[in-house]
Amino acid sequence: MLNALAPADVPVEALVAAPPKADYRNAMARLGAAVNIITTDGPAGRAGFTASAVCSVTDEPPTLLVCLNRSASVYPAFQANAVLCVNVLAAGQQALSGVFGGKTPMDERFANGRWETGPTGSPMLVGASASFDCRVVRSVSVGTHDVLFCEVVAVDTAQEAHGLIYFDRRYHDILAAVG
């Protein structure tokens, strides 16, 4: 909407200054988000990383988005395989998030947790709160990241609806109220 309000001869960038990076990051720490392990497997090999930048786009067709830094070591595998699984972590799975969020070798990452193969060939975490097996249908570059638009081909949900979120730079278990 900002473009509609800006004078035609003034670029939008000249009207609005970006906040300092530290201020932006501190404010984003206040935006609670589900913790996810994003996995892939295919011709470029198996890979996975921890992400909170995941959200629903539309339910028809069922589509979600995942943001992936182009400088990440896993980037080439995700780009080449063009399939992925969003594994939404359940309460108590923060250690697994740490393993997939660091510099742990890929084989060691997948040695943690139990994995099944989804319809796309991507690893699905047994015990995840939910898993969305997807094929990447579009990618858009924004700044340092690619925004991957992913069409969901299969879902799996756990019996218990307990989740894990990241808020204020800490993990928090979310336990569903009963009855």
The per-residue pLDDT for 17 is 85
Give the domain range for residue 95: 34-168
Candidates 2, 166, 159; CA nearest to 97 is 166
Domain membership flag for residue 80: yes
Is the per-residue pLDDT at 1 higher than 70? no
Q: Quick check: 116 and 158 in contact, CB under 8 A?
A: no
Is the per-residue pLDDT at 2 higher than 50? no
Q: What is the pLDDT of residues 59-104, one digit of tens each?
A: 999 999 999 999 999 999 999 999 999 999 999 999 999 999 989 9
Strand partners, 78: none
Number of domains in the chain: 1
List CB contacts of 48: < 8 A, sequence separation 6 or more: 37, 38, 39, 40, 74, 100, 106, 109, 110, 123
Is the per-residue pLDDT at 57 higher than 60? yes
Domain membership flag for residue 19: no
The alpha helices in 88-156, defined as continuous H runs, are 94-101, 106-111
Domain membership flag for residue 125: yes
Domain membership flag for residue 14: no
Q: What is the pLDDT of residues 145-175, one digit of tens each?
A: 999 999 999 999 987 778 999 999 999 999 8
Peptide bond into 11 cis (omega under 30): no
Domain membership flag for residue 76: yes
pTM of the model: 0.88
Q: Quick check: 82 and 135 in contact, CB under 8 A?
A: yes
* DSSP H or E run through 172: strand 170-174
Q: How far, in Å, CA of 50 to CA of 169, rounded?
A: 14
Domain membership flag for residue 145: yes
Domain membership flag for residue 50: yes
Domain membership flag for residue 28: no
